Amino acid sequence: MKNFSLIVTFVFCAFAEAATSTNVRGDGRKLQEHDHPPLGGYSTVTNFNDDPMTVEAAKFVLSSLQQQDSTNSNSMPYEFFRTTKAKAITTYQIIEVSQQVVAGMNIKLTMLFQDDESNCVGACNVVVYNHFGEMSVTSWNKQISCEEAETRLAEEELAGTESDNTVVVLEDFSNPVHTWTEMNDPVMGGKSTGTFSIQDGLGKFVGEVVDVPFLHAPGFIKGQTSDHKVYPDITSCQALQIIAKSNTEYTGYRISFGKAHAPGGKFFAFGYKANLDVVSTTGDDDFGKVTIPFSQFTDFWDDSTGDPIHTCQEDPRFCPDEMTLKNIKVLEIWGEGVGGFVDLEIQRIQAVGCNDSI
């Protein structure tokens, strides 16, 4: 009799849990409840905006809401979505994230949703279950007021600034400061062409580098800042870092800054330049961090290929100088000296390893 009671209790609890949990696919269909007993508690994710699994989960939440809205607005889990319409929501901000390892991963997010004018329309807590790439929303939790969400977001951003004082952002394409333009190879007969645009929070550098006919060698294209806004002082920093990915296997990416001209240098070689040799080429949503110590930049480079002639390690006269690092004045992203298709997406360019005492 005791065993029978235990069985009945177990069946009842299992039924109750299945009845109160809803899984929602991106197409709006309900899913069966997953059986994934916890293998541990939730742990906080700190750099969640750089975590591919978190970003993927957040995008899935928005997609799920929009799919529900298009099928049945009365099924929306929060009142503000019923009045605002999820399809009017174009962006989101992630406030807080924690993860729990199960048979897959539970991802608990606190999110703020915005319209196309960056106005808050609502916020909530939600849990996404990632079952080895297949995602479902297992719990639409507490709704949060915009006032509370925006306060928490500001506090998180302030805490992040205080704890990550070794980074100086030069350009963040989710909130760009500078004006960017594109230049094609101006050499007579040059046929390399490209574009540089800012879309969806990314700097997008696209084009093709081809041979200059009479030189029988590849030309260049570049994206560059074209305003006169002052850059922050990075004299205390150790390296330049770009967070980007390439959608092609192009190997001629380079980055430069400043307007210095080396004594005895090539006629058109201005600024300190280095190669971007290890740009991520995954072809998915993963962005790679490429960190280039300032000691790898030189202003003595070949203006026909982009390759260094004399390096900073060889002669400190060709290392970035203090005057340039106080205000670099210009940033440039190149496709140069190598023929092929350019397709680079950039999230952010920043200086790292900085001393916060300046």
Query: What DSSP designation does 248 have?
Result: S
What b/e sequence results for 195-218 when a residue is b if at least 16 CB atoms lie within 10 Å of its CB, and e otherwise? ebebeeebbbbbbbbbebeeeeeb
pLDDT at 25: 36
Determine the length of the chain: 358
Tens of pLDDT, residues 153-197: 776 665 554 444 589 999 999 999 999 999 998 876 789 999 999
Tens of pLDDT, residues 86-136: 557 788 999 999 998 888 899 999 998 888 877 888 888 999 999 988 999
Rounded Cα distance, 243 and 172, in Å: 10
Rounded Cα distance, 163 and 148, in Å: 22
- Asked if 223 contacts 333 with a C-beta cutoff of 8 angstroms, the reply is yes
Q: Residue 95 is encoded by which pair of tokens?
A: 């406030």
Residue of 341 and 286 predicted with greater confidence: 341
pLDDT at 6: 42
Rounded Cα distance, 321 and 84, in Å: 53
Rounded Cα distance, 220 and 192, in Å: 6
Q: Residue 174 is encoded by which pair of tokens?
A: 């989710």
Domains with residue ranges and CATH for the chain: 21-163 (3.10.450.10), 168-352 (2.60.120.430)
Res 255 pLDDT > 70: yes
* pLDDT band, very low/low/confident/very high, at 280 (cuts 50, 70, 90): confident
Q: What is the mean pLDDT of residues 34-43?
A: 55
DSSP H helical ranges for 21-97: 52-71, 79-84
Q: What is the mean pLDDT of residues 223-251?
A: 94
